[in-house]
Chain A
Amino acid sequence: MTAPAPRPAPAAETAPTATTAPAETGGAPDGAGPEAGPPVLAVDLVTAPSLLEGLAELARGLESAGAGALTLSDGGLHPIHLAAHLAPLTEQIALLPRTDALYVEPFHLATQLMSLDHLSDGRAGWLLQAETDPAVPAAVGREVLGLEASAREAADVLGAVRAVWDSWAPDAVVRDTERGVYVDASRLQYADVEAETFAVRGPAITPRSPQGLLPVLVADTDRAAAGERVAGELADARALDVDVSVGARPERIAAQIAAAGPVGLVRLVGLDLEADPLGTVAQLVGALRGRGLIAEAPSHGSTLRTRLGLPAAPFQPDPARRADRARLSREEAA
Chain B
Amino acid sequence: MTTAQLSSPTTGPAKHPLHPAHTPTGQLAFGVFFQGVNSSTIWRLPESGDQVAFESFETLARTAERGRFAAFFLGEGLRLREHRGVPFELDVAGRPDAQTLLAALAGVTEHIGLVATQNTTYNDPVDLARRLQTLDLLSGGRAGWNVVTTDNAWTGENFRRGGYLDHADRYVHAEAFVQVAEQYWRGAPIAHDGAHYSVRAQGELPRSAQGRPVLFQAGASPAGQDFAARTADVIFSPHGTLEAASEFRRAIVERTVAAGRDPGSVKILPGAEIILAATEAEAEEKVRWVRDLQIGPEQAIALLEQYWGRDLSAFDPDGPLPDVPPEVSESGVTRGAGFQFAKAEELTRSWREEAAAKGLSILEFARAKSGARRGEFTGSYDAVADRLAEFARMGAIDGLNITPWLVPSGIDDIVDHLVPRLQERGVYPAEYAGSTLRENLGLPPV
Q: Which residues of A contact B (CB under 8 A)?
A: 49, 52, 56, 76-78, 80-82, 84-89, 104-108, 111-112, 114-116, 118-119, 135, 138-141, 168, 172-173, 175, 177, 179-185, 188, 197-207, 323-324, 326-327, 330
In whole angstroms, how far apart are the Cα atoms of A86 and B158 in the complex? 29
Complex CA gap A185/B80 in Å reads 11
With both beta carbons as reference points, the residue of chain A lying nearest to B39 in the complex is identified as A182
28 residue pairs from A and B, CB less than 8 Å apart? A78-B131, A81-B100, A84-B104, A85-B104, A89-B108, A105-B159, A112-B100, A115-B100, A116-B100, A118-B53, A119-B96, A119-B100, A135-B201, A139-B126, A141-B124, A173-B51, A181-B90, A182-B92, A185-B87, A188-B87, A199-B162, A204-B94, A206-B95, A206-B96, A323-B80, A324-B86, A327-B84, A330-B311
B residues in contact with A119, CB < 8 Å: 54, 96, 100-101, 104
Q: Nearest-CB distance from B370 to chain A (Å)?
A: 14
Whether a CB of chain A sits under 8 angstroms from the CB of B328 is no
Counting chain B CB atoms within 10 Å of each CB, which of A141, A198, A201 scores highest? A141
Least Cβ distance of A296 to chain B in Å?
Answer: 27
Shortest 4 CB-CB distances between A and B: which pairs? A326-B85, A141-B197, A115-B96, A81-B103
Given the complex of chains A and B, what is the CA–CA distance between A138 and B100 in angstroms?
24
* B97 in complex: contacting residue of A104, A108, A201, CB < 8 Å: A108
- B104 near A199 with CB under 8 A, answer no
> Is B200 within 8 A of A139, CB to CB?
yes
For A85, list chain B residues within 8 Å (CB).
103-104, 106-107, 138
A86, A108, A185, A197: most-surrounded residue (chain B CB, <10 A): A108
The answer on a CB contact under 8 Å between B58 and A88 is: yes
Interchain CB contact under 8 A, A52 and B96: no
Given A49-B205, A206-B95, do A78 and B104 touch, yes or no (CB 8 Å)?
no
Residues of B within 8 A of A173 (CB): 51, 93-94
The answer to whether A205 and B80 have CB atoms under 8 Å apart is yes
Give min CB distance, B153 to chain A, whole Å: 11
Contact partner, B78, options A76, A89, A141, A205, Cβ 8 Å: A205
B127 A140 Cβ-Cβ under 8 A:
yes
Extra contacts besides A119-B100, A140-B126, A324-B87 (12): CB < 8 Å: A85-B107, A87-B104, A104-B127, A105-B122, A108-B122, A111-B96, A118-B52, A119-B104, A141-B199, A168-B94, A181-B298, A182-B92
Give the distance in Å from the alpha carbon of A188 to the alpha carbon of B206 in the complex.
42
A139 touches B90 (CB 8 A): no
Q: Kindly list chain A residues whose C-beta atoms are within 8 Å of the C-beta of B97.
A: 108, 111-112, 115, 206
Give the residues in chain A near B343, CB-CB below 8 Å: none
Given contacts A119-B101, A203-B80, contact A183 B93 (CB under 8 A): yes
A138: contacting residue among B58, B80, B130, B200, CB under 8 A:
B200
Q: Is B134 an interface residue (CB 8 A)?
A: yes
The one of B87, B104, B201, B298 that contacts A203, using a Cβ cutoff of 8 Å:
B87
Scoring B residues 157 to 171 as 1 if CB is less than 8 Å from chain A, else 0, what string do you get? Answer: 111101000000000
Is the Cβ of B131 less than 8 Å from the Cβ of A182?
no
Say whether B299 faces chain A, with CB atoms less than 8 Å apart. Answer: yes
Q: Which residue of A lies closest to B87 (CB)?
A: A185
Which one, A135, A180, A199, A326, contacts B84 given CB within 8 A? A326
Q: How far is the CA of A333 from the CA of B106 in the complex (A)?
A: 52
**Contact of A81 with B134 at beta-carbon distance under 8 Å, contacts A112-B97, A205-B77, A323-B86 already known:** yes
Tell me if B134 and A77 are in contact (CB < 8 A): yes
Residues in chain B near residue A89, CB distance under 8 A: 107-108
Write out, one digit per residue, whether chain B residues 215-245 have a CB within 8 A of any chain A CB (1) or not (0).
0000000000000000000000000000000
> Chain B 114-149 against A: per-residue CB contact (8 Å), 1 yes, 0 no?
000000001110110011001101100000000000
B413 surroundings in chain A (CB, below 8 A): none
Q: What B residues does A183 contact at CB under 8 A?
A: 87, 89, 93-94
Most buried by B among A82, A112, A139, A179: A139
Contacts of B159 in A (CB 8 A): 105, 107, 198, 200
Contact of A182 among B90, B201, B205 (CB under 8 A): B90
Q: What is the CB-to-nearest-CB distance from B125 to chain A, in angstroms, rounded to a whole number?
A: 9
Judged by a CB distance under 8 angstroms, whether B288 is at the interface is: no
Is B261's CB within 8 Å of the partner chain A? no
Judge whether A182 and B123 touch: CB under 8 Å: no
CB of B176, distance to nearest CB on chain A (Å): 12
Measured CA separation A76–B101 after assembly (Å): 19
B101 lies within 8 A of A84 (CB): yes
CA distance A139 to B181 in the complex (A): 11
Q: Does B369 lie at the interface of the complex (its beta carbon under 8 Å from any beta carbon of A)?
A: no
